[in-house]
Structure 1
Amino acid sequence: MSRRVALSVVGGVVLLGGAGAGAGAFAFAQAAEPAPALTHSAARYTAPDGDRDGALAFATEVTASSGVKSVKVLAWPQNSSFAKKGLTAKDMAAVESADCKPSGKDAVRCTYTAKVTSAVAASSPRGAWHVAVLATAQDGTTTLDTEAAGFTVR
């Protein structure tokens, strides 16, 4: 995991509207836009071995009719405070972004990779981990999946 992700984990996010009759149709059209959809999410964790660093690799496909603006990714241990209080879009605001490339009409394929050093692995909680994803569309709609994928740290 990168230092930022590790620190985020150790240390511990659509508003629509309109006024008047003229804006009502616009607000309805905005509300009718579906939130971004996440599919084919998968994570792979490889522990460091000897002098070789490990890695966390995550991939997902995101579809949004208005286009995808950003995709944020956070790995978090199941036994963290996020499990008790719930992970929010606000928690995701400062985490790292995935690298996304077009993969079809209104879709992008996003990948995220973080190096896992022996020191980071030694200080990371053992057991089940989840990968949370916050996808934001160009129109401002969002989707937060707090358990888009999972992996185990042994």
Structure 2
Amino acid sequence: MSRRIALSVAASVVVLGGAGAFVVAYAGEQTPVLGHSTARYTAPDGDRDGSLVFVTDVTASSGVKSVKVLAWPQESPFAEKELTAKDMAAVESAVCKPSGQDTVRCTYTAGVTAADAESSPRGAWHVAVLATAQDGTTTLNPEAADFTVR
């Protein structure tokens, strides 16, 4: 009887050890996580330019390689056809600075001239974010934050 128990315990250790190794391997390949995303739009006023400032925290266990940002109006082709990582390839990058063990705080700032504001669609806008980790995993959030152009 004690031999069966010993074999059961040994088999359990092997199974649990293998499951633990799988969990550790899987944890290393998790996609980047976005958090605390905000957008602030300031319209131009008189001779003063406006701006769009977007801030987000990105956490990736392997480190953050890049964060791409795209502001897009709700009334656009992207509303019908979802954004893809390919759509985000050529957009501008945010500037990221360490803010924790595996986390960076990324800021994207764009100036808005009176001409920009005049030609921009009015209404709701969204900010899309593509975060890429050092291990190549990605997270795409097409509506990480919203703002309104009046």
Q: Deviations over 1:73-120 (max 9, x none)?
A: 000000000001111110000000000000010110000000000000
Give the structure 2 partner of residue 21 of structure 1. none
What's 1:109 paired with? 105
Equivalent positions of 1:42-81 (< 5 A) are 42-81=38-77
Matching residue within 129, 133, 141 for 1:133: 129
Q: Which residues of structure 2 form unaligned runs of 5+?
A: 1-20
Corresponding residue of 2:15? none
Paired residue for 2:30?
A: 34
Aligned to 2:95: 99
Match of 1:6 in 2: none
Tell me the SS of whatever aligns to 2:80: helix
The answer to whether the 8 A contact 2:28-2:62 is kept is no
Q: CA RMSD in A?
A: 1.7
> What amino acid is aligned across from residue 102 of structure 1 in structure 2?
P
**C-alpha distance in 2 between matches for 1:100 and 1:32:** 21
- Report the secondary structure of 2:31's partner residue: coil
CA distance in 1, matches of 2:125, 2:137: 27
Q: Which ranges of 4 or more aligned residues in structure 1 deviate by more than 4 Å?
A: none
Q: What residue identity is the alignment partner of 2:42? A: T
State the Cα distance separating 1:29 from its structure 2 match: 3.2
> 2: distance between equivalents of 1:118 and 1:37?
35
Q: Does 1:121 align with 2:120?
A: no
Structure 1 unaligned residues grouped into runs of 5+ = 1-24
Partner of 1:144: 140
Q: With structure 1 as the length reference, what TM-score do the two structures score?
A: 0.80
Answer whether contact 2:28 2:61 (CA < 8 A) is retained. no
Find the residue that maps to 1:104 and give its secondary structure. coil
Give how far 1:33 is off. Answer: 1.5
What residue is the counterpart of 2:8 in the other structure? none
* TM-score, scaled relative to structure 2: 0.82
